[in-house]
Structure 1
Amino acid sequence: MSLGITDEQVELADSLRKWASSLGSIEAARAAEGDPAADFAAIWSAADEMGIAAIAVPEADGGGGGTVLDQAVALEACAHELVPGGLLGAAIGALLESAPGRYGVQVHPGGVVWDGGAATELLLLGGDGSGVVAEIGIDLTTRHARATTPREVPVERRRRLVAVTLAAAEAAGVARWCLETAVDYAKVREQFGQKIGSFQAIKHLCAQMLETAESVTAAAWDAAAAATALEEGTEDETQWAFAVDVAQATCFDGAVEVAKACVQVLGGIGFTHEHDAHLYLRRALTLRALVGSSDSAAERITAAAVAGVRRQVAVDLEGRDDAVRPDARAAAERISALAPDEQRAALVEAGYLTPHWPTPYGLGADPTLQIVIDQELGRAGVVRPDLVIAGWAVPTILSHGTDAQRERFVRPSLLGELTWCQLFSEPGSGSDLASLRTKATRVEGGWSLTGQKVWTSVAERADWGICLARTDADVPQHKGITYFLVDMRSRGIEVRPLREITGEALFNEVFLDDVFVPDECVVAEPGDGWKLARTTLANERVAMASARLTKSVERAVDLAASRDLSAVERVQVGHQVALATVCALLGVRTTLRALGGHGPGAESSVAKLIGVRSRQDSSELVVRLQGDDLALLGAIGKESGELGADVWEQLNTRCLSIAGGTTQILRNVAAERILGLPR
């Protein structure tokens, strides 16, 4: 997905990409190779006529009257087509000066003048705007310059923030082109008699490109959105600066990595000067050099996080909440006034525990109402209980069960009277769930289940289990599976605890030996189990991400505040804060799409992959920051002191890249379902 989320921004990006593709930008850049005086006058004239670099300048000053985010969307679209002529410098200068112009801008003291080689107006640090020499760089589409009288003066904070914000948008455009080009090539290029996109190694490489490109896009979008919010008075400069540092820590290294991966997927043709891939790699490398080290941004992020700064994205509901907020606030305050042991029932009665579920168990709430309820419950200090496995089981019953099943199971599950476990995985069927062997045989009045399940949490205390079993061995694997509701107190069920690497037994093996399940506990029809296992309610849960970072990242920030960490360690902490922030931003973008009436984009599908990496890497960093004390740690766990708890968390998060489908399987799925690579 591109930067733009609203229909207007998506339309702007689409139209500008089409316009930019007609300019012959790549041909012009190649023709001007080796000419330091090339100013791409014809292309600049077309861009100037369109007013692209001045979109965020007020109309009264000769601009387009748009926002910084609108400007970023435009730059992303133009970078996707590698439009030359200095649009980045011109856009930065236009924002700084509140006037259109063909600017060259010096962002860092004594540094390069961005797009100064083709500019007619110069914004130098500590200078009078004169005295630059254009030089040829590795990016064939730009002409940067060097100041002839460099001055070491204090950096202008706003200038840096504007420059990085808009440069990040260009990085997003570069990353997007590289991803699309690699995927398109992988769909048609054949080796060993197959499309290379069907090879798992290529699938994984392209899926990782998708993860990185979505991260770049989310961080670039947030920097521009924060700048826009600052202009509108809904955020302060501290939030913008934090968002910009997250973008600097994420976008430019990310764009370079995606560009390199594009060349790798293309193979020999990608290494030629003839192919355009190297031009995008050159632009990515140049942008990274211009903005400066991601590590310096990470150091600033750590300092800000220690000081209490967290990214808090403001969401404008555009008045859609006015009609529903008073009732939501009153209900939340009424629930808050109850005793803690009475609040759950009140949440269920009001439909506030699961407002996205249909009535009478929820409210069938649209995204706006869901967010308002979340906000008002949070304001009132009401914490919803976690439904755990019931959160998967009950929606399936709601969507596909009988009235009797809904009456029997839904409300008691919401009230916490019934605890559920999931009987899906088997010793020989982990991610390959369709190969399960637990057998269900027809008997009078129901079915007899025999088999073994594994990795089943809370089975030792669950009342009911959702179970997949094979009811027909003569049809394709996916079609012979049925979805059962199993009473965990039934005769023939044996639960054996499994001790994990943490030393605890959170999982179990479950053995089913001729376990009777009556017909009324079959959900839908026999053979529908695979479809049901993948069911979610059409009205998906929508929520804004918390400003608080994940557990281990917050712990790393605490260590940075309380210990004398080295500069390298502080950089590592900052990168983990940035990654966790990007994970939250992916969720925010999904929510904003839902508010706009659109389904989730690619960012919702890659969020789990990136989130797993964040949690695993941050928990490992927390332990590493505490040095060699680990070697003398006698016990681990939440009752074994801070280091013991930290080690438990590190070990426990190893399951995240396995549970719910391994990272490798999920990358296959992303490559095939999102990117369209062949199976």
Structure 2
Amino acid sequence: MTIATTDEQRAVQESIEAWARSAAPMDMVRRGPANSWRQGWPDFASLGLFSVAVPESVGGSGAEIVDLAAMLEQAAIELVPGPVLTTALAALVVGRSATPAAKRWSEALADGAIPCAVVLDERPVAATATESGGLELHGDGGFAWGADAGVSVLVSADNGNGVVWVLVDGESSGVTYDALDTIDKSRPLAKVSFDRVVVDADRIIGDIATGSVADLAATLASAEAAGIAAWSLRTAVEYAKIREQFGKPIGSFQAIKHLCAEMLCRVENVGAVAWDAAVAAESGDELPIAAAVAAAVSLDAAVDTAKDCIQVLGGIGFTWEHEAHFYLRRAVSLRQMMGGSSRWRARVAELTLAGSRRHLQIDLSALESDRAEIRSEVAQLVALQESEQRTALAESGYLAPHWPVPYGKGAKAAQQILIEEELAAAGVGRPDLVIGWWAVPTILEHGSVEQIERFAVPTLKGDITWCQLFSEPGAGSDLAALRTTAENVDGGWKLNGQKVWTSLAREADWAICLARTDRGVPKHKGITYFLLDMRTPGIRISPLREITGDSLFNEVFLDDVFVPDDCVVGELGGGWKLARTTLANERVAMSGGSSLGGAMEELLVLAGSPDPVVADKLGGLIGTAMVGSLLELRTTLRQLDGQDPGPASSVRKLVGVRQRQTVAEFAMELGGPAGWVEGPLSREFLNTRCLSIAGGTTQILLTVAAERILGLPRE
């Protein structure tokens, strides 16, 4: 998923892609020298990247920063050379400042007529005031990102009365650029010095907080990082599909699949944080934390994904002729110019410990007309006794609003979220149906009328609870390898076999069960979906003690267990399809509470006032926690737009599992002596080990992502 979420954003990305096909920016990079970017600059500037987020009142297009981020992402994919990022940053800073200088210079910056470098050094240049109201700059200006002969530079200056930002003409007397031969061959860099350089009053942009400029720079840099990562993933996957070794494409090998799937995870993560920082930049209030998270996540991710691209390419990736190294060079230089990712992890930890949080919301204004009715109906639920609420929730459709009427509300994605909000605001909790959330939708879609009447409402009211009899000792991730048999007998079926890892087996009234009804067909066929009364003779349940000491899971032995014909769901042999339907049943929801999650909030309390080493790790974990929430948000937004959840849904599961496990382990580490005694910290650490196994191991999920999302061939 790219930063672009609208048709308009995708259209401007396509326009940059089309320009690149004819302009061949990579050829400009290869030709050198560093100033070869000037050849294609006018045509590229005409695409509107520099003007897109500049207000119309000062010569821009008046769009949003997220539109600019989408264009920068595509520009990075095409590796457009020159001071693209810095000119965009300067146009944004100048164009959105409320000073006369904004009107004077914004249009030229927005048109690309003034290519611009930026100095992001936290130390301002020394300056003295002139009689005409301007400034005289003198001394070392530091590294000017994007600086080349004649290019203007946006730099902060201190005249003793405060810091202001000024736009300096690169050809002014006394300005010296000492060009540097950098690792990045696509973007110029120079050390700038000022020898009594006079800056007129109309070039003083104003007292913009240096931190705000740095936050905007981090936002735009993360957009560029998203493009680098996206190109690296695409290039690696395309190569893995066609490069053959040992008589088959290398993309069919698990090692390559997992490498590419990890790259996919990073691409999704970077796209999410870059998008969020750009969204946050519009209001500004939460930009510092959003930008810090974006930089902390994206800078390393772009470098790592570019490195992995070269790894997948193998020897050809290590040649000068292949363009992969240019993207690695760009990624590394981007990280260096932003001060390194550790700087931003420290910033994330600092802001978060001080109370800064990102508040993620979905715009439901189009449904406000429905809110009053929902609120009124929810108020009726609140008025009931607690013992009566569940029945009322079930009968009203609010317990499972995503289910079809009359069992739910038939609510579309946005309506589901609206209902969630109103129930939460009223303090009405919805009972957890556990396996029932999976079982009943399958029955509603594939079951008979009698089965629906028999199971749907009782499940909602809590009269029936469910467990799942899918996994077996030899059929975990490879579910189709199951061996439990179902023999046709008079009036029904006789089941024999063993199931394992079944939670709630001792408490459940009914089970959804897969058994093989035909052993003479391929393993994905011949499987049938049964509903099994757990009180049926022949069922023996043996608890399994877990590493926590608890016995949540069970082995279930089926010895000549009779299941009547009216408990077969769907067609004989159609169970595999139904099982996949069951496992895919998810309602649209946004997690309430902190965007970091409860476990992360508890870890912050435990961390107290951390030393730099702990703060660095804490900042990384906060960033990953935010990634999980943002992936959930973007998945929900896709569903609201009528699209499938997309790759973010799969990546969210992988990110979430790793995050919970790492947080639990780090909490135990911070707990000191409390971490090695039996207690909440050690228990949570042990308990989270199941997360990367249950419901499909992390390794299986990586393989599935590589094959189904990236299209790599099966082994």
Give TM-score scaled by structure 1 length.
Answer: 0.93
SS of the residue corresponding to residue 265 of structure 1 reads helix
Amino acid in structure 2 at the alignment position of 1:15: S
Partners in 1 of 2:209 and 2:277 — Cα distance?
Answer: 19
Partners in 2 of 1:653 and 1:76 — Cα distance?
Answer: 36
Residue in structure 1 matched with residue 93 of structure 2 by the alignment:
96
- Contact 2:15 2:47 (8 Å CA) reproduced: no
Displacement of 1:62: 1.4
Q: 1:29 to 1:73 in 2, by over 3 A?
A: same
Amino acid in structure 1 at the alignment position of 2:154: L
Partners in 2 of 1:124 and 1:144 — Cα distance?
Answer: 14
Partners in 1 of 2:384 and 2:572 — Cα distance?
Answer: 45
Residue in structure 2 matched with residue 281 of structure 1 by the alignment:
328
Question: Equivalent residues in 2 for 1:372-411 (5 A)?
Answer: 372-411=418-457
Residue in structure 1 matched with residue 540 of structure 2 by the alignment:
494
- In the alignment, structure 1 residue 22 sits paired with structure 2 residue 22: yes
Partners in 1 of 2:334 and 2:379 — Cα distance?
Answer: 51
- In the alignment, structure 1 residue 159 sits paired with structure 2 residue 222: no
- In the alignment, structure 1 residue 52 sits paired with structure 2 residue 49: yes
- Contact 1:109 1:155 (8 Å CA) reproduced: no
Residue in structure 1 matched with residue 620 of structure 2 by the alignment:
575
Partners in 1 of 2:266 and 2:155 — Cα distance?
Answer: 34
Amino acid in structure 2 at the alignment position of 1:212: R
Amino acid in structure 2 at the alignment position of 1:264: Q
Amino acid in structure 2 at the alignment position of 1:103: C
1:618 pairs with one of 635, 642, 663: 663
Partners in 2 of 1:117 and 1:629 — Cα distance?
Answer: 58
Partners in 1 of 2:220 and 2:699 — Cα distance?
Answer: 34
Residue in structure 2 matched with residue 505 of structure 1 by the alignment:
551
Displacement of 1:537: 10
1:170 pairs with one of 224, 236, 255: 224
- Contact 1:357 1:537 (8 Å CA) reproduced: no
Deviations 1:259-315 (A, max 9, x none): 000000000000000000000000100111111232222223223333333321232
Deviations 1:147-176 (A, max 9, x none): 22599x997011001100001000000000
- Contact 1:137 1:144 (8 Å CA) reproduced: yes
Displacement of 1:542: 1.6
Question: Equivalent residues in 2 for 1:128-147 (5 A)?
Answer: 129=168, 130-147=175-192
Deviations 1:497-526 (A, max 9, x none): 100000111100111100000001110011
Amino acid in structure 2 at the alignment position of 1:399: E
Displacement of 1:76: 0.4
SS of the residue corresponding to residue 496 of structure 2 reads strand
- Contact 2:149 2:177 (8 Å CA) reproduced: no
- Contact 1:310 1:547 (8 Å CA) reproduced: no
- In the alignment, structure 1 residue 71 sits paired with structure 2 residue 68: yes
Displacement of 1:342: 2.3
Residue in structure 1 matched with residue 2 of structure 2 by the alignment:
2
- Contact 2:540 2:557 (8 Å CA) reproduced: yes
- Contact 1:109 1:150 (8 Å CA) reproduced: no
- Contact 2:296 2:623 (8 Å CA) reproduced: yes
- In the alignment, structure 1 residue 428 sits paired with structure 2 residue 459: no
Question: Equivalent residues in 2 for 1:257-656 (5 A)?
Answer: 257-317=304-364, 319-535=365-581, 541-548=587-594, 549-561=596-608, 564-631=609-676, 633=677, 635=678, 644-656=679-691
Amino acid in structure 2 at the alignment position of 1:197: G
Deviations 1:585-623 (A, max 9, x none): 001111111222222221112111111111111111100
Q: 1:276 to 1:60 in 2, by over 3 A?
A: same
Partners in 2 of 1:134 and 1:598 — Cα distance?
Answer: 48
Amino acid in structure 2 at the alignment position of 1:31: R
Partners in 1 of 2:157 and 2:262 — Cα distance?
Answer: 43
Displacement of 1:216: 0.7
Deviations 1:473-498 (A, max 9, x none): 00000111010100001100011110
Partners in 2 of 1:426 and 1:373 — Cα distance?
Answer: 38
Residue in structure 1 matched with residue 146 of structure 2 by the alignment:
115
Partners in 2 of 1:560 and 1:566 — Cα distance?
Answer: 9
Displacement of 1:653: 0.8
SS of the residue corresponding to residue 322 of structure 1 reads helix
Deviations 1:110-154 (A, max 9, x none): 542121226632111217634433322111110022122599x99
**Percent identity of the aligned residues?**
52
1:227 pairs with one of 273, 278, 281: 281
Deviations 1:604-649 (A, max 9, x none): 1211111111111111110011224434x1x3xxxxxxxx112111
Residue in structure 1 matched with residue 127 of structure 2 by the alignment:
none
Q: 1:51 to 1:30 in 2, by over 3 A?
A: same
Q: 1:150 to 1:595 in 2, by over 3 A?
A: farther
Displacement of 1:370: 1.1
Partners in 2 of 1:420 and 1:507 — Cα distance?
Answer: 14
Partners in 2 of 1:335 and 1:240 — Cα distance?
Answer: 39
Partners in 2 of 1:496 and 1:560 — Cα distance?
Answer: 41
The structure richer in strand per residue is 2
Displacement of 1:321: 0.8
2:303 pairs with one of 256, 261, 265: 256
SS of the residue corresponding to residue 22 of structure 1 reads helix
Q: 1:150 to 1:308 in 2, by over 3 A?
A: farther
Q: 1:339 to 1:598 in 2, by over 3 A?
A: same
Partners in 1 of 2:568 and 2:453 — Cα distance?
Answer: 15
Worse-superposed segment, 77-86 or 303-312: 303-312
Amino acid in structure 1 at the alignment position of 2:279: A
Deviations 1:393-426 (A, max 9, x none): 1111011000111101011111111110000111
Unaligned runs of 5+ in 2: 96-105, 124-141, 159-165, 169-174, 197-206
Partners in 2 of 1:45 and 1:2 — Cα distance?
Answer: 26
Worse-superposed segment, 101-110 or 347-356: 101-110
Worse-superposed segment, 166-175 or 573-582: 573-582
2:240 pairs with one of 180, 183, 186: 186
Displacement of 1:322: 2.4
2:693 pairs with one of 641, 658, 675: 658
Worse-superposed segment, 347-356 or 195-204: 347-356
Give TM-score scaled by structure 2 length.
Answer: 0.89
Worse-superposed segment, 73-82 or 95-104: 95-104
Q: 1:601 to 1:427 in 2, by over 3 A?
A: same
- In the alignment, structure 1 residue 204 sits paired with structure 2 residue 258: yes
CA RMSD of aligned residues (A): 1.9
SS of the residue corresponding to residue 148 of structure 2 reads helix
Deviations 1:36-88 (A, max 9, x none): 5x152121111222221221001221112110000000000111000012110
Residue in structure 2 matched with residue 244 of structure 1 by the alignment:
291
Q: 1:16 to 1:187 in 2, by over 3 A?
A: same
Count, aligned residues: 655
Residue in structure 2 matched with residue 640 of structure 1 by the alignment:
none
- Contact 1:422 1:467 (8 Å CA) reproduced: yes
SS of the residue corresponding to residue 505 of structure 1 reads coil
Partners in 1 of 2:237 and 2:325 — Cα distance?
Answer: 16
Partners in 1 of 2:656 and 2:530 — Cα distance?
Answer: 31
Partners in 2 of 1:256 and 1:340 — Cα distance?
Answer: 54
Partners in 1 of 2:698 and 2:194 — Cα distance?
Answer: 53
Unaligned runs of 5+ in 1: 231-235, 636-643
- Contact 2:438 2:583 (8 Å CA) reproduced: no
Residue in structure 2 matched with residue 638 of structure 1 by the alignment:
none
Q: 1:448 to 1:536 in 2, by over 3 A?
A: closer
Q: 1:64 to 1:295 in 2, by over 3 A?
A: same
Partners in 1 of 2:542 and 2:429 — Cα distance?
Answer: 33
